[in-house]
Amino acid sequence: MNNFTTNTYEMKREIVNFSKKISLELNKPTSKFVLDMQYGLSKGGSCLISEIARSLDEDIKLNYTIERLCDNLNNLYEEEKETIWNNYIKEVSKVLDKDNAIVLFDDSDINKEYSKKLEDLDRVIDASSKDKKTVNGYHVCEATALTKNEKQPLSIYSKIYSCKSKDFVSKNEYTKKSIEAAEDIFGEEFIGIFDRGYDNNKIFDYMSKKHHKFVVRLDDVRTLLFKGKRRSVLEVAKSRKGKIVMKVLFDDNEEQELLLSYTKAVLPYNNEEYTLIIVYGLSEEKPMKLLTNIDINDKDDVIKVARLYLSRWRIEEHFRGKKQEYDFENMRVRTLESMNNLNMMLTIHLGHIAILADNIDRKLLTIKIIYASKSLKEKSIVWLSQIARGIKRILSYAHTGIKEWMDIEVREKYKQLELKL
């Protein structure tokens, strides 16, 4: 048995064992579907149902496999989805840093520029385009927590939605649900990191009411009270100079020096006092403004909060991995129900990758996967892309699908009755 065969066997076993944990208390057909999806996403590296079906390598017509997977995606019961998700959260919670919990919140989009027939097709801003054009598509609300050892982004909430749906209430409602998902895991003890899209009084109210710590990037138009006088945060940022030096190392191993400044500020609408931290050096045009309710006693605390916010780019890497490695925006199922079920299966698969990445120095299989990925960089801050490619390359040597690993009952054929005359 050569290394390719051994690695393929170990990879299949890893996927099967993980799928069994996700499928606890499910019936056999649904458990089989979960395993099919986890293996298909791993080997196919695509959200296209046809690619997932090809990866299963079944001895039946491809159309039959595609139809079965589509039927399962569209017909999952609410109780089954709840069981699958609860099993997933139970499994990934083992690698989350619950003592110093950091949860990153962000919105993304699914670009369906040329689609016309999808359910409740919305209009979204394509954030990846240079001109930020508005196209057909859907919104995605996501919350990711960081793992204990390697600080990998691991999704704990992901929802695709449309503002045109009948049951749509508001975007804040989905944000609230994502925060509640973090509360279910960490209670009050987590720090929420928000981009400027969350510069919203309702977010401040909810986080303060629940006694959660937060760091929110402020928009330029935000005004605060400084010593009783109302001023824009951009005006204040330009009038100050950064005296605290912070050095940061980016993914390309390039060290950059940033300057920080901080001051107390009050939100006019609730008269609550917070700390405004201003970061100079990330952009030549405008400094970055952060508002936090974390206690600030000295410059070390200021640097700590700035670093907390800079960890937010890990959720951007999470989105990039979904879209580039798995062709997330190219999913071709027509209903929002099926899209969210497919997104759940992909989220579970990415959670499995985060678990493997968090044990990168302690699990031999993860080392083999990284080696198989043939990446240009030996080290990375976020391992999602490398591990996804490594798994796909290892499974490319598999000559069969995953069927032989399933516990399928083989029944004898009914015999024809004979009457002897």
Q: What is the pLDDT of residue 286?
A: 87
Dihedral pair phi/psi, residue 177, rounded to 5°: -65, -35
Question: Residue 1: its pLDDT value, please?
Answer: 39
Please tell me the predicted confidence (pLDDT) of residue 411: 63
What pLDDT does 117 receive?
86
**Other Cβ atoms closer than 10 A to 337:** 16
The CA distance from 343 to 158, in Å, is 8
Give how far Cα 134 sits from Cα of 113, 122, 125, 323, Å.
9, 10, 4, 18
Tens digit of each residue's pLDDT (9 = 90 or more) over 261-317: 999 999 998 889 999 999 998 876 789 999 999 999 999 999 999 999 999 999 999
pLDDT at site 284: 65
**336-368, pLDDT tens digit by residue?**
999 999 999 999 999 999 999 999 888 899 999
- Model pLDDT, residue 421: 61
Residue 392 CA: distances (Å) to CA of 36, 124, 165:
15, 32, 36
Phi, psi dihedral angles at 125 (to 5 degrees): -85, 120
Mark the ranges of the chain whose per-residue pLDDT is less than 50: 1
Residue among 74, 75, 72, 41 nearest 56 (CA): 41
